[in-house]
Amino acid sequence: MRSTAAILALVALTVLSPLSAQEITYEVVDVDADHAGDGGERILQGEVAAIPQGIAAYGPFRVLDHGHAALVDVTDARSPAQFAAMLKDYPGIGMIEMIECPGTEDDLANLRLGRMIRDKGIATHVPAGGSVRSGGVELFLAGARRYADAGAEFAVHSWMDDTGLEPDDYAANAPENRRYIVYYEQMGMSPIEARAFYAMTNSVPFESARWFGASEMGLWVTLDRAGA
């Protein structure tokens, strides 16, 4: 359990400000957060995990065996149905290895996919050399148990909608912002933690990325240990 002082310190660094309300119908998250910008340097320097072939493919998912699948590509509007089809054929899958997760082309579908992962009680694991970026981070948080090895990489940034607007262009309590805070709460964060984490993800613009490793992720959410 993270201490109250640690949580408040994170909140103090990432405060949302009031904004004017607007309406949009669709959101896009960058699928290739490739440059560090103001967010620091990449964690991985050539130590990238290999993409597994698997025994079956369902969109961005690869079935590794009857208990494990891997996420190896960008998600999109088809991903929730592909995930459901995979579980129908391989109902014993209990863990998703997050190998190469650039983000999503359909953020609303991505949030539905995350809720499906949580509802099925599936764990998420980022191995050493695994890279989870942009909308992929929401899927990592969906794990009923979450594992991240030393050498795992995460990257976050602001989302951008199809009109070019970012989170700070909307009111803090606008639906476009609230949907993420509600999602983080559904993934187990307290209201304070959810707002702080969301503000951290928006601390760099869409064109950039904030990079960090497993140790920092462990400050935001409880990470399980292998064998626990």
Can you read off the two tokens belonging to residue 79?
Answer: 């991903």
Residues 154 and 212 sit within 8 Å (Cβ to Cβ): yes
How far is the C-alpha of 7 from the C-alpha of 200, rounded, in Å?
12
Q: What tens digit of pLDDT does each residue of 87-135 get?
A: 999 999 999 999 999 999 999 999 999 999 999 999 999 999 999 999 9
- Write out pLDDT tens, residues 38-90: 556 677 766 778 899 999 999 999 999 999 999 999 999 999 999 999 999 99
Side-chain half-sphere CA neighbours of 154 within 13 A: 25
- With beta carbons less than 8 A apart as the criterion, state whether 136 and 99 touch: no
- Cα gap 121→115, rounded to integer Å: 10
Domain boundaries, the chain: 23-220
What pLDDT score was predicted for residue 40? 61
CATH label, 23-220, candidates 3.30.200, 2.30.29, 3.90.226, 3.30.420: 3.90.226
State percent of the chain over pLDDT 90: 72
pLDDT tens-digit readout, 172-182: 999 999 999 99
Mean pLDDT, the chain, rounded, equals 84
Residue 40: CB partners within 8 Å, gap ≥ 6? Answer: 210, 211, 212
